[in-house]
């Protein structure tokens, strides 16, 4: 397929907000793609070059435009910044590129464009920046104006087509089955092997039968398992008992750890909750993991900061400071981490995802052995007593932890799924709203009066329904001065001119400034109520900001189904 043809599909996708129509357009595109190019097509329509966990990114392309069109950077900047040029919106570099491009672009293929962009991203060494500029300029010169629009948007993360991996899975189902009936089977494979391009290639070349060979692979992350909520210890035992395993719930950040060989060398990779590769941030943990006597393995774990002298656990706001790209060695000494491993999914070429939790625990104990200064198995107790569950929860809370995880002893690991195999019980469970709510910031209203100095006076948040986000609360209180300033700083960096097409809300709730789907915040509320105003159908009463959840992606925000469940629980 030529990139000219793909660009025409991208334009169709950009012009529609209908989820069904987007799925239809994508399925048609995938039918026309060959097995050799469908993976590249998938990456490009998602605005990337590879799965996100590989961390392959392109840089800013201002200089490319300047070099190729022999225009000054000042002129290009003016085109980019002015809201209107010649009556057309110039809010992104793609529109600037389209305005200035003049290539025919008729023969360059999707695979060739992908290869060229990948080469630019991987260019390294002395003079690499100049080479990147030259290569990008050359590529843009070979494209049609429409093609230049979309290629220019990829390096700055602004392809803006309004869908994610989940819609790709639907489209693949339509490609092979004509409807969504194959989606569960495709998603099951994707949950344990999150390279969406490879999944598409297998489905295209071998059909659904090809997915039966998919299994966990060390070095490729698995979508993490998630917990459900229940209002009491008695309800938990009734649902998943009679005997359960109870473990402390650490208030740190999720770390999926992979041990494997690559190019004949032993490697350790650590992935966050949203499957970002964070290995370079944690040299201390990487060293501890590398000492394990195992050839290949995948562990699920939680990292939490502690005071070196007392061993006391630190709150999340301090632990999260370790997630940074600079001065890593220095902060590792000042803020040490400990990794608590609570599950094993793969070891020495054998998958344990389908094994019961009790078996996985035994394998984990055999693998980790005695606890060390940086690494240990999460402590666990089995019980059939609601009273003992409550006692252990109080013990965990007194240690500064978040609560407890109660686990079904014979349950498999449910990759990418939330279910009653795990139940989380936090300090606010049992009274009012049973859990905090992870909301997406949709937009902000500018501050007035005292708030004028903060930049933000209120902000609108939503919860997820499929790939849409529906409003659930407008929050104007419950933040410290520092949190207001931090919200203003973050919102400014994510400001967009138009309402993202994933957002659904009443026109009377539209904010002063839209924020692109990126910023997840943890909200605590006294109550969830029915709402005729908010598009989620529910609203949060007396909401307040607990923290910014940088480790969570928009796709990991609380869903409308979860919110309905929390609403029902508070009435029991």
Taking alpha carbons only, the member of 523, 525, 528, 521 closest to residue 554 is 521
Residue 174 counted as an annotated binding residue: no
Taking alpha carbons only, the member of 241, 566, 569, 237 closest to residue 390 is 237
Report d(CA 478, CA 544) in Å as an integer.
4
Report d(CA 410, CA 358) in Å as an integer.
6
Report d(CA 478, CA 427) in Å as an integer.
19
Phi/psi zone of residue 335: left (φ > 0), alpha (ψ -120 to 50 degrees), beta? Answer: beta
Residue 418 counted as an annotated binding residue: yes
Report d(CA 221, CA 165) in Å as an integer.
15
Residue 254 counted as an annotated binding residue: yes
Phi/psi zone of residue 187: left (φ > 0), alpha (ψ -120 to 50 degrees), beta? Answer: alpha
Report d(CA 90, CA 67) in Å as an integer.
20
Residue 163 counted as an annotated binding residue: no
Q: Residue 531 in 3-state DSSP?
A: coil
Residue 318 counted as an annotated binding residue: no
Q: Which position has the token pair 């290009």? A: 76
* CB neighbourhood size of 101 (10 A): 23
* CB neighbourhood size of 418 (10 A): 16
Catalytic residue from among 249, 408, 470, 501: 249
Residue 266 counted as an annotated binding residue: no
Residue 228 counted as an annotated binding residue: no
Cβ atoms of 256 and 416 within 8 Å: the answer is no
Taking alpha carbons only, the member of 239, 193, 238 closest to residue 219 is 193
Residue 323 is a catalytic residue = no
Cβ atoms of 478 and 526 within 8 Å: the answer is no
What residue numbers does the annotated binding site for ATP cover? 247, 254, 273, 302, 342, 418, 424
What residue numbers does the annotated binding site cover? 247, 254, 273, 302, 342, 418, 424
Catalytic residues: 249
């Amino acid at each position: 397929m030529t990139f000219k043809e793909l660009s025409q599909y991208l334009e169709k996708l950009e012009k529609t907000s209908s989820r069904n129509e987007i799925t239809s357009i994508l399925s048609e595109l995938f039918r026309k793609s060959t097995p050799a190019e469908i993976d590249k097509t998938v990456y490009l329509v998602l605005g990337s070059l590879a799965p996100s966990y590989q961390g392959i990114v392109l840089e800013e392309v201002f200089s490319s435009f300047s070099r190729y069109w022999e225009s000054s950077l000042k002129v290009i900047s003016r085109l980019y910044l002015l809201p209107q040029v010649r009556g057309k919106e110039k809010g992104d570099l793609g529109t600037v590129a389209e305005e200035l491009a003049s290539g025919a672009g008729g023969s360059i293929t999707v695979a060739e464009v992908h290869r060229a962009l990948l080469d630019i991203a991987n260019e390294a060494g002395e003079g690499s920046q100049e080479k990147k500029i030259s290569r990008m300029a050359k590529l843009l010169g070979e494209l049609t104006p429409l093609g230049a629009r979309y290629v220019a948007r990829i390096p700055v993360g602004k392809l803006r087509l309004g869908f994610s991996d989940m819609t790709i899975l639907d489209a693949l189902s339509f490609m092979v089955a004509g409807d969504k009936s194959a989606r569960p089977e495709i998603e099951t494979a994707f949950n344990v092997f999150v390279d969406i391009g490879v999944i598409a290639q297998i489905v295209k070349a071998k059909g659904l039968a090809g997915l039966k060979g998919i299994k966990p692979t060390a070095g490729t992350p698995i979508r993490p398992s998630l917990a459900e909520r229940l209002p009491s210890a008695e309800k938990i035992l009734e649902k998943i008992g009679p005997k359960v395993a109870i473990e402390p719930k650490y208030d740190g950040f999720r770390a999926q750890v992979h041990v494997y060989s690559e190019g004949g060398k032993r490697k350790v990779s650590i992935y966050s909750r949203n499957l970002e590769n964070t290995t370079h941030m944690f040299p201390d943990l990487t060293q501890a993991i590398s000492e394990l006597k195992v050839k290949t393995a995948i562990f699920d774990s939680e990292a939490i900061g502690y005071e070196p002298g007392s061993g006391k656990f630190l709150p999340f706001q301090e632990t999260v400071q370790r997630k940074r790209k600079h001065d890593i060695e220095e902060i590792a000494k000042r803020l040490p981490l400990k990794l608590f491993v609570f599950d094993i999914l793969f070891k020495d070429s054998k998958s344990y995802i389908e094994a019961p939790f009790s078996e996985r625990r035994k394998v984990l104990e055999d693998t980790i052995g005695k606890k060390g200064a940086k690494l240990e198995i999460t402590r666990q107790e089995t019980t059939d007593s609601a009273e003992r569950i409550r006692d252990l929860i109080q013990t965990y809370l007194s240690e500064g932890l978040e609560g407890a995880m109660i686990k079904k002893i014979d349950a498999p690991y449910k990759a990418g799924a939330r279910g009653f195999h795990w139940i989380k019980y936090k300090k606010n469970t049992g009274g009012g709203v049973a859990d905090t709510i992870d909301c997406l910031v949709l937009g902000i209203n500018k501050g007035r009066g005292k708030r004028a100095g903060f930049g933000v006076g209120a902000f609108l948040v939503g919860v997820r329904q499929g790939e849409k986000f529906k409003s659930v609360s407008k929050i104007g209180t419950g933040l410290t001065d520092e949190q207001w300033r931090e919200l203003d700083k973050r919102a400014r960096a994510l400001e967009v001119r138009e309402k993202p097409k994933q957002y659904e809300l009443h026109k009377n709730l539209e904010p002063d400034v839209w924020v692109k789907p990126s910023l997840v915040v943890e909200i605590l509320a006294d109550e969830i109520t029915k709402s005729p105003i908010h598009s989620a159908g529910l609203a949060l009463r007396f909401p307040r900001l607990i923290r910014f959840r940088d480790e969570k992606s928009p796709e990991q925000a609380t869903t409308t189904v979860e919110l309905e469940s929390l609403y029902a629980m508070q009435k029991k």
